[in-house]
Amino acid sequence: MEKVSLAFELYGKEYAFETGELAKQATGAVLVKQGETTVLVTAVISAQEKDYDFFPLTVDFMEKMYAVGRIPGGYLKREGKASDKGTLTARMIDRPIRPGFADGFKQEVHVVATTFAIDGQNPPDCICVGGASAALMIGSAPFDGPAACVRIARNAETKEFIVNPTYEEQETSDLELTIAGTRDYISMVEAGANEVTEEDMLAAMNFGQEAIAAFCEKQAEFLAMVAPEPREWPIHVPDASIAERVDAHFDEMSAALKDADKQSRIAKVEELKAAIKANDFSEEEQAAWGSDIAAALKSLEKHAMRRMVIETGERADGRAADEIRPLYIRPGYLPRVHGSGLFQRGQTQALSVCTLGLLNEAQRLDTIDPATGKRYMHQYNFPPYCTGEVGRMGAPKRREVGHGALAERAILPVLPSEDEFPYAIRVVSEILESNGSSSMASTCGSCLALMDAGVPIKAPVSGIAMGLIKEEDGVVILSDIQGLEDFLGDMDFKVTGTANGITALQMDNKARGLSTEILGRALQQAKEGRAHILNAMLAEIPGPREELRDTAPRIETIHIPVDKIREVIGKGGETIRGIQDSTGASIEIQEDGTVHIASVDQEAGRAAKAAVEAIVKEPEVGEVYEGTVVGIQTFGAFVKLTPSKDGLLHISRMANGRVSKVEDVLNMGDTVKVQVIEIDPKSGKVSLDRLEKPDAPEGSEPAHNGREERGNGRDRRPGRGNRNNGNEDRGGDNRKPRRRHQQ
């Protein structure tokens, strides 16, 4: 294939598609660009058909640090495990293209998006969806494309929508909506928002659908230039007798599904499936049609559940379409931790735990994304026991990363700023029971934990998962879906927000023909469900607690001059370590002179604060100090006022009467009460007067004013004891003058 390229402009941004030059052994490969951000997206379809009862699609997003001109961190200095951002991007590519493949297509499909160059202005994620669609269609895959993805921002001041905003444009937006699909339907929605109303969110979706259609048109133009050769891929068609035999048990399946208890229902359904398989199929047929029989049994379960909802309005657990499962809410569930909340809805249970720390404990990010760290971290764990299963425990899977990111995005708009609340915040949601909507339980539990910890959030957040059953013209929107309705339904639509508006949403769609009109109805029904849940939460904890837990660190913030930072840190960190070791407090100093002092013990925090303030304190005229004598000269004594500042107490101001020498009234290490009487504006030297002066000793004579006496005085301050004002150790007056360097 010769190189084919198409450059175009849409909504004020420059884009390009290219193929025929790179990765020519892949089934399809497209180089896609926005600005100078460049990603190669490849698609490979295996030659062999797999006997699976699911579609074997794998999507990988490869973040290459060379794309942003950086060497990877760590010992190996090469890319390793995908970052959370990379995992989320891979999911974002997978979700909109997966529903577009033909039923019965069983070849393995592997899509890989590799970042070649990132310009720091244009994110690479949205263009990867269009690249994947184009690569699949170049390979003539049985794929319902073109498909595209756009990100919609809204200028917070002008309220104008922006398509695929730059990072800079996104900073001034109150909305980040990522929407994907074809010219005809929406397949994926992801959004974060600053309490945006349902009406504004729907307007953004409508605008996004128009933008998707425009990108699909450009992709179709590019594909027409490529003119891919048609290819017939095998589409598996099971033996018609399988469905006939299985569908004969429709009434039995309908009866088995009518059980509110998840484990009991699963047991009944699995028992029925096993009986159908054993009684209606011979061992030879089971061996030959294994995956087809499993798919037919799944289809029977799906059809029975959907018809029950469409025809009778009844759900498997007996609820109405807009009914929420029973709620059980307990803030402050755990002792000792900084904050916790138990949230249960039906048979889904989440325990969220909040931990507070210094800002230097925030997460550092080493990715191609401009963000270098994040202060709020939400992590979601889904152990096998939460569904009554046996399984391996290990690193979080893609689903766990995705659900954690959704709950994190839901809370971010209501968090206080660093200036208001200078803490790093980590919330962990442990899913202890699951029967659908666990990510929304995680969001509600996290809000409870934050309020229990005393984090001054701007408004409480609740969340709900919505479902959809669509059969021809029949459409039923379900509130608070359980696992069965998620698995066998057409839509999983999660919405979070405050009483004022939406903070996050996520939608995956399996039904072709999903319109923004249906999504608008779902948003309105979700608003009512969120309000019901939020009221139940506020009945248990009406707002953030006024005080932090005794076990949580108290952080006090002070500001010091930038030129004093070095003094507080000390040589090799000696000074700041000494303060931390002696007080038990933790101290963080930022480049602008902001100092955060954290300690569970309030007395320790106050002591550390006083120590830092003492170091940077500049004496002022009139202030009184009790200082230690740290140096003695014939003309007076040096008194330490602060850790970094001494003052001179002249011999004439040490006592009532005339003093012949300093040692008659003061010695090294003595504590003396003094007052600042003068500060030289040029040199900064401090002159002191002694308060509560004693009388001069009897027989004390005034100090000799001769040059010899004044010259023989010794500076007895620490580190200066071997310095002589005289010249006896240096050859006296016979020293040769030091020569200046001759130019």
Strand pairing report for 376-381 and 373-374:
unpaired
| Res. 735: pLDDT tops 80 | no
Distance CA 256, CA 304 (A): 10
Number of other CB atoms surrounding residue 210 within 10 Å: 13
pLDDT at residue number 729: 43
pLDDT tens-digit series, residues 183-223 = 988 889 999 999 999 999 999 999 999 999 999 999 999 99
Q: Are 143 and 155 in contact (CB under 8 A)?
A: no
Residue 241: partners with Cβ closer than 8 Å, 6 or more residues away: none
For the cut 70, the answer to whether the pLDDT of residue 734 exceeds it is no
Helix or strand or coil: residue 237?
coil
Residues with Cβ within 8 Å of residue 617, at least 6 apart in sequence: 642, 645
For residues 708-734, average pLDDT:
44
For residue 739, pLDDT over 50 is answered with: no
Task: Give CA–CA dist 111/133, Å, rounded.
Answer: 10
**What token pair was written down for 407?**
């709950």
Give the model's confidence band at 723: pLDDT under 50 very low, under 70 low, under 90 confident, else very high: very low
Contact 237, 32 (CB under 8 A): no
Query: Would the pLDDT of 742 be above 50?
Result: no
Distance CA 146, CA 223 (A): 9
- Mean pLDDT across 162-168: 96
Assigned token pair, 7:
């450059």
- At CA 313, angle to CA 307 and CA 318, rounded to 5? 100
Contact by Cβ (8 Å): 703, 709: yes
pLDDT at 513: 64
Q: Which helix (H) or strand (E) covers residue 688, if one does?
A: strand 686-690
3-state SS, one letter per residue, for 692-703: CCCECCCCCCCC
In the predicted model, what is the mean pLDDT of residues 117-121? Answer: 95
Average pLDDT over residues 226-250: 91
Instruction: Indicate the range of 54-58, 79-83, 337-341, 702-706 predicted with least confidence.
Output: 702-706
E strands in 215-255: none
Q: What is the pLDDT of residues 600-628, one digit of tens each?
A: 888 888 999 988 988 888 888 999 999 99
Residue 49 has pLDDT above 90, yes or no: no
For residue 312, the 8-state DSSP code is: I
- Distance, CA of 624 to chain centre: 50
Q: Which of 115, 195, 100, 110 lies closest to 148, judged by CA?
A: 100
Q: Is residue 712 predicted with pLDDT exceeding 60? A: no
Terminal CA-CA length for the chain:
72
Residue type, 499: A
pLDDT class of 43 with cuts at 50, 70, 90? very high
- Residue 494 vs residues 86, 463, 692: alpha-carbon distances, Å: 22, 7, 75
Give the containing element (helix H, strand E) for 476: strand 474-479
pLDDT by residue (tens digit) across 504-540? 999 988 777 677 788 889 999 999 999 999 999 999 9
- Phi/psi of residue 274, each to 5°? -65, -40
Binned at pLDDT 50, 70 and 90, residue 66 comes out as very high
For 485, left (φ over 0), alpha (ψ -120 to 50), or beta?
Answer: alpha
14 in Cβ contact with 224 (< 8 Å): no
Note whether 482 and 435 are within 8 A (CB): yes
Nearest to 445 by CA among 544, 537, 546, 545: 537
Residue 331's CB is within 10 A of a number of other CB atoms, namely 22
Helix (H) or strand (E) holding 568: helix 565-569
Amino acid identity for residue 41 in this structure: V
Q: Average pLDDT, stretch 443-458? A: 97
Considering all CA atoms of the chain, what is the largest pairwise distance in Å, rounded to the nearest integer?
Answer: 127
- DSSP alpha helix (H) spans, 553-638: 565-569, 574-583, 602-616
**Confidence check: pLDDT of 250 > 70:** yes
What 3-state class would DSSP assign to 93? helix
Neighbour count for residue 153 (Cβ, 10 Å): 22
Q: Rounded to whole angstroms, how far apart are CA atoms 506 and 409? A: 11
| Residue 480 counted as an annotated binding residue | no
Q: What is residue 711's three-state secondary structure?
A: helix
- Report pLDDT digits (tens) over 346-396: 999 999 999 999 888 888 888 888 888 899 999 999 999 999 999 888 888
| Mean per-residue pLDDT, 488-501 | 91
Question: How confident is residue 725, by pLDDT bands cut at 50, 70 and 90?
Answer: very low
* pLDDT tens-digit series, residues 531-565: 999 999 999 999 999 999 989 998 888 999 998 89
Quick one: which of 521, 497, 519 has its CA closest to 507? Answer: 519
Is residue 48 pLDDT above 90, yes or no?
A: no
Phi, psi of 425 (to 5 degrees): -125, 125
Q: How confident is residue 128, by pLDDT bands cut at 50, 70 and 90? A: very high
Q: What pLDDT score was predicted for residue 97?
A: 93
Share of the chain above pLDDT 70, in %: 94
Per-residue model confidence (pLDDT) at position 135: 97
pLDDT at residue 312 in the model: 82
> pLDDT at position 602, please?
84
Segments in 258-340 forming alpha helices (H):
262-280, 283-288, 290-307
pLDDT band at 700 (very low <50, low <70, confident <90, very high): low
pLDDT score of 141 more than 60: yes
Inform me whether the pLDDT recorded for 724 exceeds 70.
no
> Of 379-388, 475-484, 709-718, where does mean pLDDT reach its minimum?
709-718
Residue 713 is predicted with a pLDDT of: 44
At 556 the pLDDT is: 87
Q: What is the pLDDT of residues 317-345, one digit of tens each?
A: 889 999 999 999 999 999 999 999 999 99
No. of H helices and E strands in the chain? 17, 29
Pairing, β 554-559 against β 594-599: antiparallel
Q: How confident is the model at residue 719 (pLDDT cuts 50, 70, 90)?
A: very low
Residue 710 confidence (pLDDT) above 60? no
Tell me what pLDDT residue 682 has. 86
Q: What tokens appear for 579 in the block?
A: 């303060």
For residue 628, give Cα distances in angstroms to 172, 253, 614, 641, 660: 56, 90, 14, 8, 21
User: Quick one: how far is CA 546 from the chain centroid?
Assistant: 26
Tens digit of each residue's pLDDT (9 = 90 or more) over 69-96: 999 887 888 888 888 999 999 999 999 9
Question: How much is the pLDDT for 262?
Answer: 87
486 annotated to bind ligand:
yes
Position 68 scores a pLDDT of: 92
Return the CA Rg of the chain: 36
CATH numbers and ranges of domains, the chain: 4-226 (3.30.230.70), 245-312 (1.10.10), 327-540 (3.30.230.70), 554-616 (3.30.1370.10), 624-729 (2.40.50.140)
Report residue 721's pLDDT band, with 50, 70 and 90 as the boundaries: very low
Q: Which residue has the tokens 């209501």?
A: 414
- In this prediction, residues 630-658 reach a mean pLDDT of 90
